[in-house]
Every structure is written in structure tokens, then in C-alpha cells.
Structure 1
Amino acid sequence: MQSQDELVESIIKAMDSLESGNPALNKLASYLYKADDKLSEYLDDLNIFIKLENPTRKQIQDAGKLLEQIVLLLFKGLKGVQSIKSFQSAGPQYDLLVSGDDLAWKGVCKTLYLEWEKRDIVIEAKAISSALPDKQFSRLCSIMEHNLRGTGLGIFVTLNGASGFPRRDSIRQRAVSDCRLRQIIFHARTNKMIVVLDKDDLFEFTQNGKLIEVLTRKIRDLSELSGLPTTPAEQFQEIDLPAHLKILYHSDS
């Protein structure tokens, strides 16, 4: 009888035989992210900071370090990570740069629509109270285009999202501006992707598979431009229909 680790290894090998974009990859994606046991504790500390009305400068600085620790716990949970770095290069500071070279990382890349030649992921942690401004988004675009040429995916981990992105419970967004507009233009020009995680996303990642699931949906929406925010993973169904069609979809429920 196969052990749990052997079973996961067999599943990863099966994923290698599937083409990128195959719907079966989504069903197997939960095996590509294992939530760290310590993550809940760090998220509890973050939640305490979020509820502060007037944090001191030291509390804000500590929150920045805490968010970076959460980012590390998240991305070391991806299968196949062989390189994980946080350093000051000759130019920019990189909060986290992750990559891999084996079969498991190939499965991660397929699921996240990444080309193998651009399999590196760069992550920026921003513990600011406001939405991420366009200048920060622009900076990461420049880094990915000119400094980290082997990077195919950039991820902002924020508390309150980025300017121009649809908010939770908002109506459908019909126009794009600020960071959202830059995200679209950058993707169209380079075929590289940048997505944004906020505090609501973070609290979902204590469950195995959820990081991959949410990232996949945010990446797919970059092509679809639905104008809607990402719904919580537990409520997720890709049903986006006008009223006269939705009534037929739910008629057998």
C-alpha cells in the first residue's frame, strides 16, 4: 500500500502527462500546496495588527516583518520549491524569489500557466493600510522585465489589495485604471503576469491546495477581465451569467 508521500508523488507524475490548461490539473492542484502548521499562529498575529486603529511606527514595522514571515511560510509550502531567496541584489531588494527544477515544480508551473523558461516567481510583501499604489506596481513590472528575466509570475501580498482592482462585494467593474490597467498592459506586452493577494485571501491559505487554487483563478481572470473580485474558495463556482441564463442554470437545483 502506498504511503501518503508516495501517493502524492504518483499524482505529480500523472500531472506531468497533462497539457497546461487541462481542467484535470485543477482537480489535482490541491496536492501542490501543503499549508504550514505554523501559518495559523502567524495569521492570528496579523489579525491583531489589522484591528489596531492607530498603530505605532514600531507596530507597522513589525507588521511588515510579520507579513514577510507569512509569505515565506506560504510559498515554501509549494511542491518542488528548490530555490527560495530573500536578498538585496546590485539593484532592487527582493522580498522573496522562489523556483524549482524538478517534476513537482513543473506541475506548479503547468497549473499556474507558466512557461518553463519563465518558471521563477517573485513575491512582494506590502503591509500598508491603503491600497497598493501604481508606482509600486510599476516598479515590479520593471524588475520582472529588466532584472529577473526568468520570472513569469509576480505576486503582491498586501493587506488591502491594489488600486483599480475590484473590491469584495462590489458591482462589476467596466473600466480599468491604476494598478489594474498596468497589470493588463504589462501582461499584453510581456506575457508575464502579476496578481494581488489581500488579507481576505491570506486567511484561506491554512487549507491545503488553497494557495494554488486562488492564484490560478486570479491568473485566469487576467485574461477574462470579468470585472469581479475573487470570491472565497469555499464559495467558488465559475458561474457568471446574466439573469435570463442564470435562472436556467439553477432550475434543477
Structure 2
Amino acid sequence: MESIINAMKSLESGNPALNKLASYLYKADAQLSKYLDELNIYIQLDKPTRKQTQDAGKLLEQIVLLLFKGLKGVQTIKSFQSAGPQYDLLVSGDDLSWDVMCKTLYLDREKRDIVIEAKATNSPLPDKQFARLCSIMEHNLRGAGLGIFITLNGASGFPKRDSTRQRAVSDCRLRQIIFHARTNKIIVVLEKEDLFQLTQNGSLIEILARKIRDLSELSGLPTTPAEQFQEIDLPAHLKILYESDT
């Protein structure tokens, strides 16, 4: 019992060792690589047919299921049409493992549910789709503290990979910030580059934690890959000093 109490105190204090919990909190499904290979084939198509696009949507939903059933402590996992909206996936848990996962992702226990939307469109996610999830989390799923869009090409207004640092916010990015400020709830966006990193244990937790932190930091850059354990974003005159000690 003393060991349990001490461990919980360590979690509450924001111990840096929390990073080592990521591989415990997310175990990648052995089938995931096969489904991601199929998704990559679809992404390479120049002009997919309507049926291919529909099949890609179902494939992305299957990938989402494989991802989130790998979270430690998940006890409820649902996809259904409610009295109002359609929920692509709704996951939650009630035991200690899920509590630890929530702490790692900056979620309160009272808002421990996660709602996931899968969008297999080739264009970036438009603001109206982002607004819809904001409304669902505010008015329908009051216990959901984290919303996640799984997309192929991100969302409008978010920093693009290999682009200069973003200094202004608009579209989905602006709505994300305002929604978080008003409700203290979080919505993040994963794109195809993120998905192909998720075959490693712990990677989903690492990526989500970085995207959630960036909602407060607003670095203007896309989040670093999961395999880069540290995120170093320093100007040249500081970076040279950091690198001299590492």
C-alpha cells in the first residue's frame, strides 16, 4: 500500500519519469502495420474512385479502433448513432490505469472520456467539422475532455510540415484555441504522418501529449515525431549551448 501511495504522489507531482509510462499505457496492436500499409496504398492513388474513398473511410475507422483499444485501462469502447450525432468512437475507463493515462494527457477524472472522429478526405479538415465536434463535446458528451480528429491531411489553419513558423491563427486552429479557453476541453488533430508512427509501443501517448501541450504553447510548428524523445526548439545562440552539454 505504501508503494502504491508513493507512486500516486509521484504521478501527481509531474515527475519526469512519467515519460517512461508511455510504453505501458499504449501497446500497439500487431495488426496495425497491415492496415496502415493498406492506407498508404490508398494515399498514393492520384484519382481514387468513389468506392475507393468509401473503403478508405472504413479502413481509417478500423485503424482508429486498433489504436485506441491499445490504451491501458480502456473499459468502454463504442461506435454508434445516438439520439443526435453519430460517434465514430467513444472510449473511456474507470480504473487506476485509466486514471494514470488521464494524468499523462492532462485530463481531469470528471472529463475522462475520449471521442474520436475519423476523416479520410484528401483535403484538410474544414472549420465546420471542427465546430461540430466542439458542439458535441460541449452539449452532448459532457464527460468527454479530449476530442481527437484522425485525418489524412490535417486541419485548416494548423502548421504545415516543413513550413516556416506560424505567427497567426485562423480557421480550425483558432476555433481549437477559443474552445479550449472557454471550456478547458481539448481537441487535437492527427494526420497521416502521425499515424505511420503509431506501430511502436508508447507512441500514441507521446504524440497526444505533445499536441496537447502545444495547445497552450502555440509554438507555430508541427509537433515533433514520437521517436524524438526530446523536443528542442531554441534559437541558434541558445541551441549551441544546449548541444555542447549533450
Question: Above 0.5 in TM-score?
Answer: yes
After superposition, the Cα gap between the structure-2 partners of 1:12 and 1:184, relative to the gap in structure 1 and judged at 3 Å, is farther
Question: Which deviations, in whole Å up to 9, do the C-alpha atoms of 1:92-124 show, x marking residues without a partner?
Answer: 000000000001101110100000000000000
Q: TM-score of the superposition, structure 1-length normalised?
A: 0.93
Aligned counterparts of 1:32 and 1:53: Cα–Cα separation in 2: 37
Structure 1: 4+ residue segments shifted above 3 A: 11-17
Once the 2 structures are TM-superposed, how far is the Cα of residue 247 of structure 1 from its aligned partner?
1.5
Equivalent residues, number: 243
Percentage identity across aligned positions? 84
Partner of 2:238: 245
Query: Amino acid of the residue matched to residue 39 of structure 1?
Result: L
Task: Assess if the C-alpha contact under 8 Å between 1:114 and 1:153 holds in 2.
Answer: yes
Question: Secondary structure, in 3 states, of the residue corresponding to 1:86?
Answer: strand
Once the 2 structures are TM-superposed, how far is the Cα of residue 217 of structure 1 from its aligned partner?
0.4
Partner of 1:6: none
Once the 2 structures are TM-superposed, how far is the Cα of residue 14 of structure 1 from its aligned partner?
6.9
Question: Which deviations, in whole Å up to 9, do the C-alpha atoms of 1:50-69 show, x marking residues without a partner?
Answer: 00000000000000000000
Once the 2 structures are TM-superposed, how far is the Cα of residue 252 of structure 1 from its aligned partner?
3.8
Once the 2 structures are TM-superposed, how far is the Cα of residue 127 of structure 1 from its aligned partner?
0.1
Matches within 5 A, 1:28-43: 28-43=21-36
- Aligned counterpart in structure 1 of residue 47 of structure 2, from 46, 54, 67: 54
Q: CA RMSD in A?
A: 1.5
Aligned counterparts of 1:81 and 1:60: Cα–Cα separation in 2: 30
After superposition, the Cα gap between the structure-2 partners of 1:169 and 1:92, relative to the gap in structure 1 and judged at 3 Å, is same
Q: TM-score of the superposition, structure 2-length normalised?
A: 0.95
Task: Assess if the C-alpha contact under 8 Å between 2:22 and 2:201 holds in 1.
Answer: no
Q: Which runs of 5+ in 2 are unaligned?
A: none
- Aligned counterpart in structure 2 of residue 178 of structure 1, from 136, 149, 171: 171
Task: Assess if the C-alpha contact under 8 Å between 1:164 and 1:176 holds in 2.
Answer: yes
Partner of 1:198: 191
Question: Secondary structure, in 3 states, of the residue corresponding to 1:114?
Answer: coil
Aligned counterparts of 2:77 and 2:108: Cα–Cα separation in 1: 19
Once the 2 structures are TM-superposed, how far is the Cα of residue 251 of structure 1 from its aligned partner?
2.3
Partner of 1:98: 91
Matched, 1:16 2:16: no
Q: Which runs of 5+ in 1 are unaligned?
A: 1-10
